[in-house]
Amino acid sequence: MELGVPSISNVHLVKDRGNSLFREGNFVLAARHYTQALKLVRFLGLPPIHDQPVATSLCLSLVLNLAGCQLKLSQFNRVCCYCTFVLSFDPSNVKALYRRGLAFKHLNFLNKALDDFEHVVKL
């Protein structure tokens, strides 16, 4: 995919392509696109994640998408890491809690899984 001069619209294009690949079931390639999109955000020099709500939202969405890919690929430790990162910025993120709960369940951390699922139900 030719991107030309990097811009925020390029980030969205790469993310959208990753979304298409995810829907097609190509989770490895989708994860590569989400990772590339995160690298583009960093390359663009957007303000640190704490300083810009738009960049924060985009980055957290990309990390959640990576977690979704890793969940499909049975990379449960990675899912936990990605979701915990998202939850450090947004403790009420239902998608992150649910995905992390699923990963904990597969890792046989049943108490942690139950905690996350109970939190989802409360939300």
Per-residue pLDDT tens digits for 44-84: 776 555 556 777 889 999 999 999 999 999 999 999 999 99
Q: How confident is the model at residue 15, as a pLDDT?
A: 96
What is the spatial distance between Cα 119 and Cα 97, in angstroms, rounded to a whole number?
Answer: 8
4: pLDDT strictly greater than 70: no
Check residue 5 and give its pLDDT. 62
Residue 28, both tokens:
């490895």
| Share above pLDDT 90 across residues of the chain, in percent, rounded to a whole number | 76
Cβ contact 65:15 at 8 Å: yes
Q: What is the pLDDT of residue 52?
A: 67
Nearest to 37 by CA among 70, 67, 3: 3
The structural domains of the chain, ordered by start, are 8-90 (1.25.40.10)
Q: Are 27 and 73 in contact (CB under 8 A)?
A: yes
DSSP string, 111-123: HHHHHHHHHHHH-
One-letter amino acid at 58 equals: L
Please give the structure tokens belonging to residue 46: 């957007």
Report the pLDDT value the prediction gives residue 54, as an integer from 0 to 100: 73
Residue 111 one-letter amino acid: N
